[in-house]
Amino acid sequence: MSINHVLILGVVTAVVVACVSKDPSTSDSQSVDTSSRNLVVRPFDSTPGEHKPAVRLVEFGVHGIMADSVAKVEVTFGSTVDTIPGLFTSLNPVATSDGTIHGIGMTEGGEAKTGYDYDSRTKRLTVFPLPSDVNGFFHEIVLSNDAKYVVYVAHVRSGQTWAVVRSWPSMALVTRTPPSEGYPSDVGYDQVAWLGPDHFRVSYRIKSGPSIVVEGDSRSGRMKVDTVPTPQH
C-alpha cells in the first residue's frame, strides 16, 4: 500500500469516528428556563415525529353575572388525560408536535387576558399577558397552526381599530394596518383566519361603513389592504 493510500484511509477513518462518536447532548438546540420572567423559550419542533396531544374544551359554563360561557381545557397525551388547572377559555387551542398546547386564556367572565403554553409531558403551564391593544371582550384572535404567530383585530379605548400580526409567544410586532375609526356597535363584524401556514386573512368593519380586508404573509410581513363597501340591503 502506498503512502498516499495510507493517508487517505486515515482521513476517512477519522471522519467516520467523529460522526459516530458525536454526543447528541451537545446539540445546538437548547431549552432555556426563564420562568422568573414568566416566559419559556422552546427549541423549534425538537421532536417532529412525536405524536401530538389531543385537546378539547370541556365543561362549558357561565361563571358570573352577565359573563360569557367559558370552558376548561382537557389534554390527552398517551394514556394520560389532564385538565389544565385554573385555566378558562372559549377559544380552541393549538397542539404542536413537541407536545405543547398553545392558546388564549380568559377570566371566568370570558375576558381574554393571557396567552398560555402548556407542556403536556411535564404538565408545566406558562402564562403571559396579551398586548395592551387586545380588547379582551372581542375574541377575534387566532394562532397559526404551528403556534409561531397570532393575528387579531385590535380595539383600543380611543375607538380606533386595526389588524395585527405578532410572533408567539414573544408578542413582538410583525405587521399591522394603519388605525381606523372602529365600528360603534357591540355586534361583532370582525373575521380572523389562517388560510395556510403563513397566510392570514382579516376583515373588520369601520365607522364609515365599509370593511377593511387584509391578506398577508406572516413570515415576510407583507400584506395587502383593501376597502370593501358594505352591501346595501
Q: What is the pLDDT of residues 114-141, one digit of tens each?
A: 999 999 999 999 999 999 999 999 899 9
* 187/106 same-domain check: no
The residue from 129, 164, 192 where one domain ends is 129
pTM of the entire predicted model: 0.75
**pLDDT higher at 181 or 11:** 181
Residue 144 belongs to what domain range? 131-233
pLDDT above 60 (res 6): no
161 assigned to some structural domain: yes
* 211/174 same-domain check: yes
Name which of 32-36, 142-146, 178-182 the model is least confident about. 32-36
Q: Cis omega before residue 85 (within 30°)?
A: no
Distance, in Å, from the CA atom of 11 to the CA atom of 189, rounded to the nearest integer, reads 68
Distance, in Å, from the CA atom of 60 to the CA atom of 120, rounded to the nearest integer, reads 21
Q: What is the pLDDT of residue 188?
A: 75
The residue from 110, 129, 148 where one domain ends is 129
* 48/107 same-domain check: yes
Tally of domains within the chain: 2
Q: What is the pLDDT of residues 48-84, one digit of tens each?
A: 345 789 999 999 988 777 678 999 999 999 888 999 9
* 122/42 same-domain check: yes
69 assigned to some structural domain: yes
The residue from 96, 129, 162 where one domain ends is 129
